A = this chain, B = another copy of it.
């Protein structure tokens, strides 16, 4: 074993960073044996230097992250600051000054992964980011490496723990959305401002990253269709239960049937209780992958939290260090297919539509005509009357999302349709 240590600079020392530093100390011998050289924590860049950080030598603490990544003797920079800037500049600067990078920054990778990949490749460095998607669950490495000889057709995942906790509470405890959100906040599963989670921004960033890797193409954050869970009601959960389904916020990345384009989207959807993702409870994450030869695989585990995220960061750190000792780099960006990303309108899916309609003869015929005119075939209809009002629950066969949303627009214009109570896609069948 080499005795000269590999030097690690840590950018950020919050929940994840402090756990990374702790494990680097407590498991130093294991890490050294697995890498083939000891690790040395060479510097820790923080915003609040006065905060006491147990187990970290105060002499290592600095507020000057730029100077740290420019030192020139750093082997690996671990970036756990999050956000776009200064993280992006710090990472590219690190590459320029001889370091490889391990990052947990999903927002930056989804928004500007290409810049980072290019910079890493130009300077011959590694950029690893297992922790950016689904915390400790090994996902990036299986997709990039284990399935490198296979053709992935579909990735269907629960990649946001906050929203899964909320929907699970709505499903199992019958809570309303606000009540479930309050509970998530009280338990620390939701942040004070839950927008990034409940509006699907976090899941969309992960979908962009997963789609790019799964299909060997570039998928930008803007390419991802995004709907959050704020409009999901307890009535939706009840409807789902009547259909033998539950509601999950899904990140769905698909290759088109002709193989010539891909799509990426995040939205709440009904999935059958028999689907393995339906039983993913509380804040757990799980990702279902369908590949041509491998068939259906699922990866399950904690999607967030300091220790699980640190586990993913450290796995990458070991890999990057081994590469460094080998004088090599791991797999970089693979975007050779250049498959275009189609819009949501081209996605083929099913709708579950709940209509409030006038309770008089001929309404179903009118509604059915609208579906037929838009080329959308109906799977089942359930009609329920009550005091001059009635509701129609329509579940469609698979059709292009544009045809389905066109149908709904036309339905809204019918005199006999008083309102569209809810629309939800049905997936995983």
A-to-B contact residues, CB < 8 Å: 19, 23, 27, 30-31, 33-34, 130, 136-138, 141-142, 145-151, 216, 276, 279, 291-302, 305, 307-308, 310-319, 322-323, 326-329, 331, 334, 336-337
Contact = CB atoms under 8 A, between A and B. Distances in A.
A149 B308 CA distance: 11
Given A149-B23, A149-B315, A336-B33, A296 B302 contact: yes
Contacts of A311: 147, 149-150, 291-294
Contacts of A323: 328
Contact of A322 (B295, B318, B331): B331
Contacts of A299: 297-300
Given A27-B149, A33-B337, 17 more contacts: A34-B336, A137-B297, A138-B146, A141-B142, A145-B318, A148-B318, A149-B315, A150-B315, A276-B279, A276-B300, A293-B308, A293-B311, A293-B314, A294-B301, A297-B299, A297-B301, A299-B300
B138 A147 contact: yes
Nearest to A300: B298
Contact of A302 (B151, B294, B300): B294
Nearest to A136: B294
The 8 lowest CB-CB distance pairs between A and B, nearest first, are A149-B314, A138-B146, A136-B294, A293-B311, A326-B328, A294-B311, A138-B142, A148-B318
Contacts of A329: 326
Contact of A19 (B293, B305, B314, B317): B293
A171 to B, nearest CB: 16
A334 B149 contact: no
Contact of A312 (B294, B301, B331): B294
A382 to B, nearest CB: 29
Contacts of A31: 149
Nearest to A135: B294
A329 B322 CA distance: 10
A148 B145 CA distance: 16
Tell me which of A31, A150, A302 has the highest count of chain B C-beta atoms within 10 A of its own C-beta: A150
B138 A315 contact: no
11 contacts: A34-B148, A138-B297, A145-B318, A147-B311, A148-B314, A149-B316, A293-B308, A293-B311, A297-B300, A326-B326, A327-B328
Contacts of A313: 149
Contact of A141 (B33, B146, B297): B146
A294, A300, A337 pick with most chain B CB within 10 angstroms: A294
